[in-house]
Amino acid sequence: MQPPSLELLPNTALVIGAERMADTSGGDAEHIYAATGRVTKRFSLAGKAEIDAAVSAATEGAKAWWGIPAERRRDAMFTLARLIREHGDELETISMVDTATKTRRFATLSSDTVAYNAGWCDKLNGESVVGSIGKGFDIDSPVPFGVVGVIIPWNAPLLTMTNVIAPALAAGNAVIVKASDLAPFAALRLGELCLEAGFPPGVVNVAPGGQEAGEALVRHPGVSKIHFTGSTRTGREVAKNAAERLLPVGLELGGKSANLIFADVDLDFAARVALTAAIGLNGQVCTAGTRLLVEQRVYLTFVEKLTELMNNVAVGDPADQTKALGPVISEAAAERIVGVVDGAVNVGAGRLVTGGTRLGGDLRDGFFIPPTLVVDVDPHSDIGREEIFGPVLTATPFTDEDEAVGLANDSDYGLAGYVQTADPRRAHRIADALDVGMVYVNGGLPAHPPGASFGGGKNSGYGRTGGRVGIEEFSRRKNVWMGR
């Protein structure tokens, strides 16, 4: 098995202002293709010095970006959206090398996100406030923060990057993107396209790096806001470091989303929906409905149907369109996932029905785990409560609506919820009762519409991207009183 064409991989130097930085204080690292366990290419890593340089570039870029008319900012973003579509095959191939996952429609979704947010550039109007104090009036207007630090994860860097930088740019900010040291290439290529689209140098900077770069970005006095996407554990550290200087933060963190399956639904359809949580991005999706809650009277039948589907999933090379599931991101991730499943079974927290081990044979050098189903899961156990981030589903029965909602809400996470039912009134009741940021009824979206808000609560973070509220996350209000 070979990775997709490596000739398409971009220049691996950092994108800082109009410059490319290859010789960095962070050194360099090897990228490992998860399907083979072999090195694809070495790339430069940002350290503290490069974050300092990026902040300086972004500070000038923010002044230039906010200083040009809103219509020109809009047009530059529309140009970027067009370039993403024109380079779609290239970007999707690069993304596949990054993460060894299926990336079909990534470019289209990213382009749509940029185009949607571009439309807000010339529509962020303030308001006049009439009051009885003094002889004058107020103008209350949105203004940008200035320099926004954006920390993105490895699981879908192209999508995650556009989901965050598009509203930040539309609001008038410059951004510094700290890409993951596990998946640097798509972010770097997108940074190049931003310059090609006509953005002033420094408006979009891309600096792959590890913990040192992330901490330097959060602690830098020249950064006015941070948006972090990643694990809850790291999100807490980001929030703690940002709190030292009262830095506003947006956090899009993990999830353990419940998928409530009622007896009145088409069980074949519900099983297919459930399967997508295991195979989408190779099970590495924060919003995935991995916690299956199934009405007792159809529980055994549903488990049988789902097991059959999971056993027939073709696992292998993500570049092979006949394969539905690829590897997880690293050997460490594969070993951790297998350990979670083994630990749950060994303590009686659930019963393994299928999967749960590393695959061998032709796939032995990659980080492949087949679709895995653990049933009769204790909802209070670790496997029933903690995010696994792999192709693993758990199943627990319930008897009625109240129990289903109680089990779903008894979670430290609050990102997404799923409801499968033929009863529209029940769908509305459950959607209203679920303590999450997003609810999907009778299905699950392959992606989130750019005009809809995205985000959660509890240990899944706070803040939103998407829609007008996403733009407002990257704006602050300024009030000006005018005497007369």
Which is catalytic among the residues 252, 295, 387, 473? 252
The CA distance from 154 to 94, in Å, is 13
> What is the DSSP secondary-structure string of 397-421?
EESSHHHHHHHHHSSSEESEEEEE-
Q: What DSSP state is assigned to residue 209?
A: B
- Spatial distance between the Cα atoms of 122 and 159, rounded to a whole number of angstroms: 24
Dist. CA 113–CA 208, nearest whole Å: 22
Note whether 196 and 170 are within 8 A (CB).
Answer: no
Query: Is residue 252 flagged as an active site residue?
Result: yes
Structure tokens that stand for 266 in this block: 């088409």
Tokens (6 digits) for 332: 């460490």
121 has catalytic annotation: no
Q: How far apart are the first and last CA of the chain?
A: 75
Whole-angstrom distance, CA of residue 136 vs CA of residue 411: 51
Q: What are phi and psi of 250, to 5 degrees?
A: -110, 135
Beta carbons of 398 and 407 less than 8 angstroms apart: yes
Phi and psi torsions of 32, nearest 5°: -105, 125
In 90-232, beta strands by DSSP E = 127-129, 136-144, 147-151, 174-178, 204-206, 225-229
Query: What CA–CA distance (Å, rounded) separates 160 from 150?
Result: 10
- Per-residue HEC secondary structure of 74-91 comes to HHHHHHHHHHHHHCHHHH
Give me 131's structure tokens: 């009051």
User: What one-letter code names the amino acid at 441?
Assistant: V
Selecting among 90, 92, 121, 286, the annotated active-site residue is 286
Catalytic residues: 252, 286
